[in-house]
Amino acid sequence: MPDANALHDRIASNADRDLNDLLNLLRIPSVSTDPSRTSAMRETVDYLSRDLQAAGFQTSVWETGGHPALFAERTIDASKPTVLVYGHYDVQPADPLELWDSDPFDPQIVDGRIVARGASDDKGQVYAHVKAVLALHEATGTLPCNVKFLIEGEEEIGSPNLGATVEAHGKDLQSDVVLISDGAMLPGPTPTLTYGLRGLAYLEVRVTTADRDLHSGAYGGAAPNPIQALAEMIAGLKDDQGRITVPAFYDHVRELGDDERTQLERVPFDADAFQNDAGLTATPGEPGYSVLERLWARPTLDVNGIGGGFQGEGSKTVIPNTAFAKISCRLVPDQDPAAIANALEAHLKRVAPHNANVEVLQHAHGRWALSPLDGDGMTAATQAIRAVDGVDPVYVRTGGSIPVVADFQRLLGSDVVLLDMGLESDRIHSPNETFDVALYHRGIRVSAEFFRAIGQGG
Amino acid sequence: MPDANALHDRIASNADRDLNDLLNLLRIPSVSTDPSRTSAMRETVDYLSRDLQAAGFQTSVWETGGHPALFAERTIDASKPTVLVYGHYDVQPADPLELWDSDPFDPQIVDGRIVARGASDDKGQVYAHVKAVLALHEATGTLPCNVKFLIEGEEEIGSPNLGATVEAHGKDLQSDVVLISDGAMLPGPTPTLTYGLRGLAYLEVRVTTADRDLHSGAYGGAAPNPIQALAEMIAGLKDDQGRITVPAFYDHVRELGDDERTQLERVPFDADAFQNDAGLTATPGEPGYSVLERLWARPTLDVNGIGGGFQGEGSKTVIPNTAFAKISCRLVPDQDPAAIANALEAHLKRVAPHNANVEVLQHAHGRWALSPLDGDGMTAATQAIRAVDGVDPVYVRTGGSIPVVADFQRLLGSDVVLLDMGLESDRIHSPNETFDVALYHRGIRVSAEFFRAIGQGG
């Protein structure tokens, strides 16, 4: 084992190479929702495979029903603990393109931050782990523990094939701890470990009222309007206080205990900064809960997109025949994603006007997750943060969803550690996504220290 | 003057030429709302100019703030009455293109109907008048009365410059009767003269709640959603009976008298055919009025388009920062379009949530119109229909808007005749717009007879 200083010197001397290699990775437009990007997905897998092979790993490309997953493993000593690093190489669509200051797939460094789609979510974060095992390998010719990687290509479309992949490859994925970096630490930056994630239910509803678009002069006054119908259906999904009206929606929501409420109050959350950073004039939501409680521990319903009729410039006097909306819910313990999606679908069909045809398409669901704070993984992560940052981490929940966390807990029985490297201000899923260069290099060091702590503790 | 038979023989012998010339006119994609079609607009004006020059007319291109208008005149005898034919050479956008069975700008003849954007609205109808004066000129070397044409290029975008044009060229446009063919006769086909048109107020509303799109996991539960806000605003524009809730909206609506209600009941309107033709399962609307009353004599509010957030395939977990809708009202006597637009704008701003920024853009307004049934123009049109069709016309109102009709009545003091040549089943403003070939040729004959009747009566 190298001592900590030698390892950190090695990482520091590779800083330029590690940064340039990340920029090259970000140049590959691996947008999983875009059918025209199939070859970019393969290219990204090849790129990551070469890095992991250089660190002494054996790699495999696992085909799925959709984009392939990359699996890599290096076993040092069967008596040592095994860490499985999970991440995703796919990214969100970059649109609306016109709101980017630079090409989303031509990374720029502006004010110490890498600007590119996927910089923080999740290429930059998963790649820090790749560079950490490479540094350990280069410094010592070995690793402090056994390490596996599973880097999938469908996280941004809800990981539709990952559950089946984890189930089919349960033996390959056997591990003591699953390590995931796909989130934001608290501002400061404050070293953060996440112990809770929300789940997701996502569906699409289409309302159709006629065979074809109609002239608003010839038909206006006697033809149903699908946009009006859809607007009424959406408006009715919340009451005037912001509570979701879908029957049974809140039935299985686990209320926060006094302990967790107290812990949440200790989190250094700046509600003004949260509001101002996004240009919000208010932070409305379910009454009776703080902003942080609403973000981390309460379920939500948001319309993610809507479209119908004439959207071009100018005016067109048409009554469209169809309109659609994409609607999703963030879910919390102990809501069941499939049950919520079914309840929402049934509710939408029930409240639709009789003169409208309603079709609902359910996209992928994802389970919420909660991890134990006293497990081996969380303990090693705490040690790694102390070693690199010189402080104890803050333990938080987060509003986002990583459906696979629940799958790992359920199917592998592994301890799951969420070691966030990004920042809320990284603008993930938005134009001008960023990742702080210093936090990328810090992430490599924390990752290497984590593997050392696991190796020593196992 | 030719006798009626000689004129009709002349028209019949030109049938193939007249049809082919219309097909060529329809090949020019004169979409007024599309900035890339500027040269097609000029090309259409040139095409029509050549035809009118061949009929002995002097032509002028009148520049406006937008697309040019074509003016043409031929004065035979200053003591004879003058007819001003008004029409428009611009067409609606053809989208959604994928719903057309053939290229909208490559006319096909299917089951005796021309299939092309603009076939009925309004190129085919205005061109029938052009071919009528050409037939009269070819048969006699002269015309039975003085005739002028004003063919504009901005009707489908609300004729924003036509009021100013009519005002500026009031002397050129001096006429006894304005003749317009831009509508649908009753099914049968039943020869129809329209004496009433609705007006229009059209606006666009944009709701913005943040500086940028937000991640629905990181912000869901504490960020306002502009689609939700817009849906609530739209839903509130009508009560649960379908009545429009904008304050003062109905204040100046002239209720139908018993006479007109009786007359409406005599119109051979097939409500089932109306419903089935468009694939509607119901004809909902304002309670207390028949379908025909709601279509012709009651004001409406329809959302013509809506857009916001992610509309691509699949799912994107975004809270968008902005959403918009296009909303228009059809108006009736004695509503003032500007006042209604202002009331709707003020109402939308008033009902918007406090955390949303609301911008409203008013598109062009148009006035409703009602014409006297006993004027010289309507009398001559009745005679022309008797001569060609052998029956009396049915007198109707229509739900559509031709804002210039009100301008002609107000600014020129002319009698306005609406001689509809199309059918409701022409699918104007929709994919696969059509115009019946036989009704096109019939239109040429009725137009020629109208000029004869005016010349004899003047």
Q: According to the model, what pLDDT value does residue A268 have?
A: 86
Contact predicate A263/B323, CB 8 Å:
no
Amino acid B195: pLDDT = 84
* B344: Cα within 13 Å, side-chain hemisphere: 34
Chain B residue with minimum CA distance to A320: B304
- List the single residue in A with minimal CA-CA distance to B368: A217
Task: Spell out the SS3 assignment of A170-235.
Answer: CCCCCCCEEEECCCEEECCCECEEEEEECEEEEEEEEEECCCCCEEHHHHCCCCCCHHHHHHHHHH
Please report the residues numbered 4 through 43 in chain B whose beta carbons come closer than 8 angstroms to any beta carbon of chain A: 33-35
Confidence of residue A458 (pLDDT cuts 50, 70, 90): very low
B96: preceding bond cis by omega (within 30 degrees): yes
How much is the mean pLDDT over chain A?
A: 93
Chain B residue with Cα closest to A227: B303
Domains and CATH numbers, chain A: 4-197+368-457 (3.40.630.10), 199-253+299-366 (3.30.70.360)
Q: Do B278 and A316 touch (CB under 8 A)?
A: no
A223 in contact with chain B, both atoms CB, cutoff 8 A = yes
Contacts of A160 in chain B (CB under 8 A): none
Of A198, A221, A283, the CB nearest to B300: A221
Q: Do A309 and B305 touch (CB under 8 A)?
A: yes
- Note whether A193 and A419 are within 8 A (CB): yes
At residue B192, the pLDDT reads 92
* DSSP letters for B396-439: EE-SS--HHHHHIIIII--EEEEE--EEGGG-TTSTT-EEEHHH
Asked whether residue A5 carries a pLDDT value surpassing 90, the answer given is: no
Residues of chain A found within 8 Å of residue B307, distances taken between Cβ atoms: 306-308, 311
Query: Which residue in B204, B215, B330 is closest to A217 by CB distance?
Result: B330
**How far is residue B260's CA from residue A232's CA, in Å, rounded to a whole number?**
35
Cα four-point dihedral sign A254, A257, A260, A266: positive
**Of B366, B312, B333, B350, which Cα lies nearest the Cα of B202?**
B366
**Residue range A438-443: mean pLDDT, rounded:** 97
Probe site for chain B from A101, A186, A194, A228 (most B CB atoms < 10 A): A228
Average of per-residue pLDDT across A57-69: 96
Q: Which residues on B lie below 8 Å from A279 (Cβ)?
A: 210-212, 321
Residue with tokens 């005037």: A240
Taking CA–CA distances from A158, the nearest residue in chain B reads: B315
A126 class by beta-carbon count within 10 Å (0-12 exposed, 13-18 middle, 19+ buried): buried
Angle at B273 between CA B272 and CA B276, to 5 degrees: 85
Give the pLDDT score at B228: 98
Residue A117, classed as helix, strand or coil, is: coil
Q: Contact at 8 Å (CB) between A391 and A239?
A: no
Contact, B397 vs B195, CB < 8 A?
Answer: yes
- Of the candidates B224, B286, B318, the beta carbon closest to that of A221 is on B286
Per-residue model confidence (pLDDT) at position B258: 82
Angle of helix A4-13 relative to helix A437-457, nearest 10 degrees, comes to 150
Q: Which residues of B touch A366 (CB under 8 A)?
A: none
Distance of CA B183 to the CA centre of its chain: 7
Q: What pLDDT, in 10s, does the model give residues B271-324?
A: 898 999 899 999 999 999 999 999 999 999 999 999 999 999 999 999 999 999
Residues in chain B where the model's pLDDT stays below 70: 1-3, 403, 458
CB contact under 8 A, A283 and B222: yes
Query: What number is the average pLDDT over the span A209-215?
Result: 95
| Window B:270-289, CB contacts with A under 8 Å | 274, 278-286
Q: Is A216 at the interface with chain B, CB within 8 A?
A: yes
Give A2's pLDDT tier (boundaries 50, 70, 90): low
Tens-digit pLDDT profile for residues A284-296: 999 999 999 999 9
- A contacts of B182 (beta carbons < 8 Å): none
Residues 6+ apart with CB under 8 A from A359: A205, A206, A208
What CA–CA distance (Å, rounded) separates A417 from B348? 48
Secondary structure element (H or E) that encloses residue A87, with its range: strand A82-88
Residues of chain A with pLDDT > 90: what percent? 79
Residues in chain A: 458
pLDDT at A27 exceeding the cut of 80: yes
Tell me if A219 and B295 make a contact (CB, 8 A cut-off): yes
The yes-or-no answer on residue B154 being catalytic is no
Q: Inter-chain contact A303–B363, Cβ cutoff 8 Å?
A: no
Decide if A354 touches B, using CB distance below 8 A: yes
Residue of B280, B358, B397 for testing the chain A interface, max A β-carbons within 10 Å: B280
Q: Report yes or no: A115 at the B interface, CB cutoff 8 Å.
A: no
User: B 53-92 residues with CB below 8 A of A?
Assistant: 92
Q: Per-residue pLDDT for A247 more than 70?
A: yes
Alpha carbon distance B211, B207 (integer Å): 12
Q: What is the pTM of this model?
A: 0.77
**Residue of chain A with shortest Cα separation from B91:** A316
**How close B458 comes to chain A (CA, Å)?**
34
Is B90 a residue of the active site?
A: yes
On whether any CB of chain A is under 8 Å from the CB of B160, the answer is no
**CA dihedral over A377, A379, A383, A389, signed as positive or negative:** positive
Alpha helix segments (H runs only) across A307-391? 337-351, 376-389
Closest by Cβ to A429, choosing from B213, B304, B326:
B213
Q: What does the pLDDT look like over B161-219, one tens digit per residue?
A: 988 999 899 999 999 999 999 988 988 899 999 888 899 999 999 999 999 999 999 89
What is the rounded average pLDDT of the residues A60-79? Answer: 96
**A328 and B CB contact within 8 Å:** yes
